[in-house]
Structure 1
Amino acid sequence: MSNIDWSKLRKAADIKEEAEAARLAPLIAVEVQWVEQERKFVAEQLEAIEDGEPVTGTERQWRDYRTQVRAWKLDAEGYPDSSMRPTRPS
């Protein structure tokens, strides 16, 4: 007769949640990297504006975009779907 270790019993919902987390992990990693790159790009655009260089968009648009980029994280609507990312000023 074998003993069952009930503490190791996994519910279907837990298995589904773990599978979803595993599916999302690489997408989240891409989005984290994208946010880091965009924040650097925004900083360069704001610096160019301060130096009087021509850039697409206004300082206010770039500052608003920076706020949107910072908010692009796990709780954001659409995250981590890259097609839902904030768009750069144009």
Structure 2
Amino acid sequence: MSNIDWSKLRKAADIKAEADAARLAPLIAAESEWVEQERQFVAEQLEAIEDGEEVPGTEREWRDYRILVRAWKAGADGYPDSSLRPARPS
């Protein structure tokens, strides 16, 4: 008879995955906040274009950028590295 509870055994891969998740959690939170702020900024830029104001980029560029911003989430290439975020139209 063994006094080891094998159901509580943790594998090295599980431990590494937990450590990676803990390390990435603050980065993911920051990127989620950036996405929400950027979506609001894009909405303001599109509204300015509709009102005839001069803004950098075209309506199409801002709409394409909005698509890229929405796609900036887990699974996107480079996510959550903030240096690889989509770039605003200029």
Measured against the shorter chain, the TM-score band is: over 0.9
Q: Which runs of 5+ in 1 are unaligned?
A: none
Give the CA RMSD over aligned residues: 1.1
| Structure 1 residue ranges (4+ consecutive) displaced by more than 2 angstroms after TM superposition | none
CA distance in 1, matches of 2:13, 2:67: 35
Which digits, 9 at most, give the CA deviation of each residue in 1:25-81, with x for residues without a partner?
Answer: 000000000000000000000000000000000000000000000000001000000
Alignment of 1:35-50 (within 5 A): 35-50=35-50
Q: Distance in 2 between matches of 1:2 and 1:77?
A: 47
Give 1:17-28 correspondences, 5 Å limit.
Answer: 17-28=17-28
TM-score if structure 1 supplies the norm length?
0.97
> Structure 2 CA distance, aligned partners of 1:47 and 1:4?
64
Residue pairs, 1:51-70, within 5 angstroms: 51-70=51-70
SS in 1 for 2:36: helix
How many residue pairs get matched?
Answer: 90
TM-score (norm 2): 0.97
TM superposition shift of 1:2: 6.6
Unmatched 5+ residue regions in structure 2?
Answer: none
Tell me the distance in 1 between the aligned counterparts of 2:13 and 2:54.
Answer: 54
- The aligned residue for residue 30 of structure 2 is 30
Amino acid at match of 2:85: R
SS in 1 for 2:78: coil
